Amino acid sequence: MSSSDATGETSASLQNIPATYARLKRHYQQTLDRITPHILYRWVGTTVTIAIFELRIVYAQGWYIVCYAHAIYLLNLLLAFLQPKFDPSLQDDLMADELEGGEGDTPSPLPSTRDDEFRPFVRRLPEWQFWLSTTRATLISFFMTFSTVFDVPVYWPILVMYFCVLFVLTMRRQLQHMIKYRYVPFDWGRKTRYGGSPK
């Protein structure tokens, strides 16, 4: 085989890389689109993946730093999932500034307080992004446990205790915020259809 033939095959294979990447990316997106409506099955699969990852940590007796970083990341995702997209405390400050600055103006016909209008709960992190980020982080963390580079020796009970304290303090602050601004991030219970009777 001549050197020109080898060069031609190499350039042809290099030209196929973007096409292959685009095809794999399209297949990945189609798979995500197919599983989007199956919320329960998605979360069951992610829970099983997390359980396998945790079992790997327990039986290997290592990679505690990876597990700790994974848990902190999931806690941050959970907080973003529970918080409203627009912080009510900032809206209260803006409304207070508007009321102070517009005392001499005519009153606006639009609702001026939170109780005057219906505002649906909009999450800072949508459920789909929460699931996708959780699954990706778990898979990345799981594959990190196969490399000894990430197996940093550490006294794991301190990490567990620190995470538990951090979780309790963070959730307490989040619950106080929910009680103060009277919002519930879940839509449990009966739903009413517009123009119809409750389900």
**pLDDT at residue 161 is higher than 60:** yes
pLDDT recorded at residue 120: 67
Q: Mean pLDDT for the chain? A: 81
pLDDT tens, residue by residue, 113-136: 555 555 667 788 999 999 999 999
CA dihedral 164, 165, 171, 172 (to 10 degrees): 140
**pLDDT at residue 22 is higher than 60:** yes
Helix %, strand %, coil % of the chain (to 5): 70, 0, 30
Q: Is the pTM of this model over 0.85?
A: no
pLDDT tens, residue by residue, 59-84: 999 999 999 999 999 999 999 998 88
Q: How confident is the model at residue 100 (pLDDT cuts 50, 70, 90)?
A: low
Structural domain spans, the chain: 18-93+122-181
Asked whether the beta carbons of 112 and 92 are under 8 A apart, the reply is no
pLDDT recorded at residue 193: 45
Asked whether the beta carbons of 131 and 43 are under 8 A apart, the reply is yes
Q: In a 3-state reduction of DSSP, which class is residue 123? A: strand
d(CA 54, CA 155): 17
